[in-house]
Structure 1
Amino acid sequence: MRIGLLTEGGYPYATGESGLWCDRLVRGLAPHEFDLYALGGDARREAPGRLPLPPNVRGVRTAPPGPDEHDGRGHGRRERRRFEAAFKDLADGICAEPSAAPTPDDEAAQRFAAGLYGLADLARGHGGLTAALRSESAVRILESACRAPGARRGVAAATVPDQLAFTDQLERALRPLSLDWYGEEEGPARTGRDGAGPDGGAGGLGLVDLCHAASAGAAALPGLLAKRFFGTPLLVTEYGVQLRAHYLAATGATLATPVRALLAAFHGRLAGEVYRRADLLTPGNTHARRWQEKCGAERSRLRTVYPGMDAERFAEVGEDEESGDPTTLAWIGRVEPAKDLVALLHAFAEVRRQQPDARLRIIAAPVREPGAAAYLAHCRALAAQLFPDEAAGRHAVGENPVSFEELGGPEAPTLEDAYAASSVVVLSSVVEGFPVGLVEAMFCARATVSTDVGAVVEVIGGTGLVVPPRNPKALADACLALLRDPGRRHRLGAAARARALELFTVEQNLAAFRGIYLELLSHSPVRRRVTSEVPFAHPAEAHVPGSWANQPVTAAAGTGEPDA
């Protein structure tokens, strides 16, 4: 089978969690061939840092994140009318007040879809979409949609500068419509494992048998068009909810309120269209699944597939039941306000009052995010305020109850070392998607105390203690309960490790997608000659002579049996 793997800002040019998952998927499903399509990746700039690609990757096609150049093709009168009609549908769909419960016959959603595909058809046939989206007529149409009866309250106050700012953002979001990926021609021949030059080898999306988008939103947009142009099945995997990420990013952006409202409406409509059109959606947890259902996804097309993680690296720690300081709590992760280290420090102050020998190790990943350094400095200052004797150095070296360390430093050179040094791992977040760090602690057979956010309860499954977020007293009580009961710690740790090995390994993830690929293929014929090694290459009905497969089956009167 030939798979078109669609990514945004990730694989094969990034090594984060999403990039690692994609790499494991491609390598683990080696009998299949993969064409990689990377939105937001610049092959020429990032080729030196690109991950090594396995032999079953045919090639990579990229769409750089920078400004899109005008393709030099203008629109005639007929094309301008087509653009204005399609853009009006799109703008009306964005600006219309959403219904309380999305339905397939939602008029605003249908208008948005009609406008989106109308722009795609125009871009494919005539080009010139970039210039048209930046034109005065686009701004006038958007202004009219914002002022129309029934428009969202947040967009009615949009001024001309707001509309210009939004159309600029919209043009960026719709660049996948103008890509040259929608063909049925092979890409340039490959000359080595990494393709011919920085960008080559992958053919058009019309040649793949299945599009697999590594997230919803922009990454799935080329898959929507391949489904429209060629009937290619679309599979969408979400381990973090892309729509939620857009909402959070818009909240912290320095854009005017009407622009944020328009952007939120656009991404909401796009996510809804992806969820409705995808042949199958594989959320990574129930938390993501609820978002998808709320945005209009049908339950019959939802299949929860937990992300696969490397359990082998934590095997030695998990098998050593005696490892870990019985008086030490550990927090491990990225430093950011959503992790609520302030509540954790206040909780530990209560733990310290009741158990004076307790210690807290805050082991942070290297700071990269803007503002992380300032938040870390704030937490250090709070720790100095809560534990003044230790901050003043009145205890011997190494006896300070709170230590701030960086992962990779002398005290915690690896993740395994960080988990091995503690007996209880704490998660204090107020916002969380799929808690990767919690699963790592479970692989290490560590008892955990977590806040009830995101997919935490689903992941823990009764093998750890869960408390409400923003509640330092409850967090402290749960930590003390485990610190004072070694037997309970060991029982919960062993149960957590068994659960993680059953549900969250790379092997279970690959097995799930291996079956899903074959299931989707069984309902859609492949687009090229295949060997007998690939089952279900063609639907069974394709081998029946004549047009029997296209005939409806009717029951004979009085018998309940199909007609012969």
Structure 2
Amino acid sequence: MRIGLLTDGGYPYATGESRLWCDRLVRGLPQHEFDLYALSRSARQEQQGWVRLPDGIGRVRTAPLWTSGVGTRRTGPPRGLTGRLATGLGRAYGRRDRRRFTAHVTALVGSLRAGAETGEPGGPAAGAFTEGLYGLAELAREHGGLSTALRSEATVRIVESACRAPGAGRTVQGATVPDYLAFTVELERALRPLSLDWYGEESLGAVDLCHAASGGAAALPGLLAKRFFGVPLLVTEHQVPLRAHYLAAPDAPFRAPVRALLAAFHGRLACEVYRQASVITPGNTHVRRWQERCGADRAALRTVYPGMEAERFRRVGEADDRGGPDTLVWIGRMEPAKDLIGLLHAFAEVRRAEPDARLRIFGAPAQGDEGGAYLAHCTALAAQLFPDEATDAHAVGDNPVTFEEIGGPEVPDLAEAYAAGGIVVLSSVVEGFPVSLVEAMFCGRATVSTDVGAVVEVVGGTGLVVPPRNPRALADACIALLRDRERRARLGAAARARALELFTVEQNLAAFRGIYLDLVAHAPARWAAEAERARLTGPPRPFATPPEAHVLGQLPPAPVASGASRVPSWAAGAEAEGVCAGAPGTGNSHA
């Protein structure tokens, strides 16, 4: 089977968010061939290069959509072959195409105005959004030049008219000329995937299945592949792009009207992606609830937990207390969302009840000045909370609180960090799928966590869960486990068993192996076009025609009830067209 793997800011880039998961998927399913279609987010990401690609990758095509102009790069066997493909951005539209462009942009922006007013991702205006989106995609495919047209004064005037139209909400009506210009720039950037040259018979039209590694921009090429070629679309989300956009919106350098229109755009796009996807695989129930809220059909949803490598934590046994049963361990990226401030206040309460308790914090600050400032604030707070005891940012010794990095002589790897204590603490106020929590479970550690994201779903009763932003509750849970060694061991053993059952790479690969086969088996076969291509270029590809097409002679009729049709369901289409059911190269409407 040939899979079109679609990513946005992820695989194959070394800093990509989906790097590990996609790499394990490709390496774990060697019976399939993967074509990679990747969008990059920044020049820095491209400069840091790619991971080493496995043999299961056939061709790689990338698009740096952060640039001012749109183009694509592609590589394929032999590896390292690169080139830039023209997309016809400089062409001017004729009168007829200008009318088409104006109508499609008007429909799309009008739907966003309605969405900005209601705040709902779906609604009656969703049809206008899809009409405009696919209309612009068809225009770009036929004539190119879409990005140039979207950056034109005509688009700014359409945005202005939509914001001033009767019925527009107060927020949108408050837009000014700088807002029109800012939104036009962002709209062009969001629609750049429509201008790529990926939508040909030898590109996405040649794959059996598109698998988007996230929603949003990554799924846009999959929408067009389904629109133009009928390729089924599978969408996997471990986090919700729409939720991430909502969380980042207050920090964006835009006024309220632009933020409202952009939120409406991402909401409409999410609804259309979920509507068109044949199967949606959320990484946890927290993500699933967001998808259902945006209109995803429950029948299309299948929760598939992210697969993680359990082998690297195998040597950390359930009874391994080398770091001391009185030691709490925190592991992660040091940033405000992890609420280390609350953790330090909670540990001050723990020290009053258990004077021998220690807290070891492993990790590095988030990138940028904010990360360094947050780490400095945490170390200063630790010194303030424990003034009579020595605290150091790096040394261990007898300090009650230490801030350490993994990779030193004492803690050379991640497994050793989890082995450094008897209890692992997660103190976040915002969390998606808690990776560090699963790693602690692989190590057989008892955990104390805050109730955020998918924490309760992951823990499943094998650890203690407390409300976020509640240092007192966090401290009480830690004290309870510190004072009860048997309970701590019992929870750790149960956590390890649960993690090995649900969160391994093997279960993840088994799930997608079945989903791939099920999708292709039920998707309408594009057998007519494939048969013609096979006649011209060689034998048909697997899955291009149904097995029945290769059976010589007529098949016996299936037993049916009295009065019912005796034509097999797979041959109904062939009979309607007057095609012999047993002729090579013919087929049914389903694989």
Query: Normalised by the size of structure 1, how large is the TM-score?
Result: 0.89
Query: Are 1:171 and 2:188 counterparts?
Result: yes
Tell me how far apart the structure 1 counterparts of residues 67 and 18 of structure 2 sit (CA, whole Å).
22
Aligned-partner residue type, residue 265 of structure 1 = A
Pick closer, same or farther for the CA change 1:255–1:545 going to 2, 3 Å. Answer: farther
Task: State the identity as a percent.
Answer: 70
Aligned-partner residue type, residue 79 of structure 1 = D
8 Å contact kept, 2:307–2:504: yes
1:197 corresponds in structure 2 to none
Query: Are 1:305 and 2:286 counterparts?
Result: no
85, 89, 95: which one pairs with 1:77? 95
Tell me how far apart the structure 2 counterparts of residues 433 and 81 of structure 1 sit (CA, whole Å).
44
Q: In terms of mean alpha carbon deviation, does 143-152 or 452-461 score higher?
A: 143-152
Deviations 1:393-435 (A, max 9, x none): 8xx9712211111222344321111101010000011110000
8 Å contact kept, 2:11–2:17: no
2:69 corresponds in structure 1 to 68
Gapped regions of structure 2 (runs ≥ 5):
71-87, 567-591
Query: Are 1:20 and 2:20 counterparts?
Result: yes
RMSD: 2.8
Pick closer, same or farther for the CA change 1:531–1:153 going to 2, 3 Å. Answer: farther
1:53 corresponds in structure 2 to 53
8 Å contact kept, 1:366–1:406: no
145, 151, 154: which one pairs with 1:128? 145
Tell me how far apart the structure 1 counterparts of residues 365 and 374 of structure 2 sit (CA, whole Å).
13
Tell me how far apart the structure 2 counterparts of residues 94 and 541 of structure 1 sit (CA, whole Å).
48
1:39 corresponds in structure 2 to 39
1:244 corresponds in structure 2 to 243
8 Å contact kept, 1:522–1:539: no
Pick closer, same or farther for the CA change 1:102–1:157 going to 2, 3 Å. Answer: closer
2:588 corresponds in structure 1 to none
Query: Are 1:209 and 2:208 counterparts?
Result: yes
8 Å contact kept, 2:37–2:62: yes
Gapped regions of structure 1 (runs ≥ 5):
186-203
Aligned-partner residue type, residue 120 of structure 1 = A
Q: Map of 1:372-383 to 2, 5 A cutoff?
A: 372-383=371-382
Pick closer, same or farther for the CA change 1:409–1:66 going to 2, 3 Å. Answer: farther
Query: Are 1:145 and 2:146 counterparts?
Result: no
Tell me how far apart the structure 1 counterparts of residues 45 and 369 of structure 2 sit (CA, whole Å).
23
Q: Secondary structure of 1:326's match?
A: coil
Query: Are 1:438 and 2:437 counterparts?
Result: yes
Tell me how far apart the structure 2 counterparts of residues 267 and 511 of structure 1 sit (CA, whole Å).
32
Displacement after TM superposition at 1:392 (Å): 7.3
Displacement after TM superposition at 1:219 (Å): 0.2
Displacement after TM superposition at 1:82 (Å): 0.4
Aligned-partner residue type, residue 3 of structure 2 = I
Pick closer, same or farther for the CA change 1:239–1:265 going to 2, 3 Å. Answer: same
Pick closer, same or farther for the CA change 1:343–1:403 going to 2, 3 Å. Answer: same
Displacement after TM superposition at 1:389 (Å): 1.2
1:196 corresponds in structure 2 to none
1:199 corresponds in structure 2 to none
Tell me how far apart the structure 2 counterparts of residues 368 and 392 of structure 1 sit (CA, whole Å).
24
Aligned-partner residue type, residue 131 of structure 2 = A
Aligned-partner residue type, residue 456 of structure 1 = V
Deviations 1:491-543 (A, max 9, x none): 00010000000000000000000000000010123776799996x66457867
Q: Secondary structure of 1:332's match?
A: strand
Aligned-partner residue type, residue 61 of structure 1 = R
1:108 corresponds in structure 2 to 125
8 Å contact kept, 1:28–1:510: yes
Q: Map of 1:228-377 to 2, 5 A cutoff?
A: 228-365=227-364, 367-377=366-376
2:514 corresponds in structure 1 to 515
8 Å contact kept, 2:121–2:268: no
Query: Normalised by the size of structure 2, how large is the TM-score?
Result: 0.85
2:221 corresponds in structure 1 to 222
Tell me how far apart the structure 1 counterparts of residues 437 and 44 of structure 2 sit (CA, whole Å).
37
Tell me how far apart the structure 2 counterparts of residues 37 and 352 of structure 1 sit (CA, whole Å).
52
8 Å contact kept, 1:73–1:128: yes
Aligned-partner residue type, residue 40 of structure 2 = G
Q: In terms of mean alpha carbon deviation, does 91-100 or 240-249 score higher?
A: 91-100
8 Å contact kept, 1:521–1:537: no
1:194 corresponds in structure 2 to none
1:188 corresponds in structure 2 to none
Pick closer, same or farther for the CA change 1:400–1:110 going to 2, 3 Å. Answer: same
Aligned-partner residue type, residue 220 of structure 1 = A
Displacement after TM superposition at 1:367 (Å): 4.0
Tell me how far apart the structure 2 counterparts of residues 281 and 150 of structure 1 sit (CA, whole Å).
35
8 Å contact kept, 1:336–1:375: yes
Tell me how far apart the structure 2 counterparts of residues 542 and 99 of structure 1 sit (CA, whole Å).
52
Indicate the structure whose relative CO is greater, using CA pairs within 8 Å and at least 6 residues apart. 1
Tell me how far apart the structure 1 counterparts of residues 152 and 161 of structure 2 sit (CA, whole Å).
15
Displacement after TM superposition at 1:385 (Å): 1.1
Pick closer, same or farther for the CA change 1:92–1:399 going to 2, 3 Å. Answer: same
Pick closer, same or farther for the CA change 1:37–1:83 going to 2, 3 Å. Answer: same
Tell me how far apart the structure 1 counterparts of residues 251 and 340 of structure 2 sit (CA, whole Å).
20
Tell me how far apart the structure 2 counterparts of residues 391 and 323 of structure 1 sit (CA, whole Å).
23
